[in-house]
Amino acid sequence: MTLLDKDGVQLAVDGAVATVTLTEPARRNAQSPAMWRALTEAGRILPGDVRVVVLRGEGVSFSAGLDRQAFTPEGFDGEPSFVDLARGSDADLDATIAGYQEAFTWWRRNDLVTIAAVQGHAIGAGFQLALACDLRVCADDVQFAMRETSLGLVPDLTGTRPLLDLVGYARALEICATGRFVRAEEAERIGLANLVVPADQLYAAATDLAAALLAAPRDAVIETKALLRGGRYRDYEEQRVAERAAQARRLRDLAGVAE
């Protein structure tokens, strides 16, 4: 069932699995504020019984990043240009960027497990969109690159934290500051890719992973994801306490004992 199809974004739901597809293959799924609003809307209208979301891009590339029109003086029709943003107040500039970031945040919700199926180029905003997901299944032709610094900018679409968590500070700095390409073999070796498969098997592999994720009870997966995500901010003793509290909730739920 298709719930959304607009501005280069399609949302389809089949039971507990939703698929979000970037549908601008002729433009290598280049991103724009309109696409970001559509991605935000997809997260907002996602049915409550969805447990796994697969994100994919049509065509040869997952997403080549921000549409180059953004870098022209006029920018996108009906949107503030970079010049307009720079001339605005601090509050307006902050609010605009925060709005853009919403397209990249809902993928981390504890009640979902999100999988990016990534092929070809995943550059800049495309790289950050792949990083927004919990897991990445990659084709053997994948090429990640964070090119913002070469344009005089910084990665600001929520990608810096997951990149740090996955590859560590030194490698994250090197990847971002040089803007170089990270290809499939390296991506798998350093933890960017959970799995690398031939390009023609990419969506099937992501679908198989989605099915495997549905095997465990939903509440157990939600609690486990919350533990793992929160563990980045807790020390060892705090994490032990969090584990005990989560297990107590699970035991009471399984036993049908109200808290």
Q: How far apart are CA 223 and CA 216, in angstroms?
A: 12
For residues 173-181, average pLDDT: 98
The string of pLDDT tens digits covering residues 5-21 is 999 999 999 999 999 99
Looking at residue 79, its pLDDT comes to 84
Four-residue CA torsion sign, 39, 40, 41, 43 = positive
pLDDT tens-digit map of 46-94: 999 999 999 999 999 999 999 888 778 777 888 888 888 888 899 999 9
Q: What is the residue type of 210?
A: A
- The DSSP result for 157-183, as a single string, is SS-HHHHHHHH-HHHHHHHHHH---EE
> 3-class secondary structure for 59-117?
CCCCECCECHHHHCCCCCCCCCCHHHHHHCCHHHHHHHHHHHHHHHHHHHCCCCEEEEE
pTM of the model: 0.95
Mean pLDDT of 138-156: 96
> How open is the CA angle 88-92-93, to the nearest 5 degrees?
75
pLDDT at 259 over 70: no
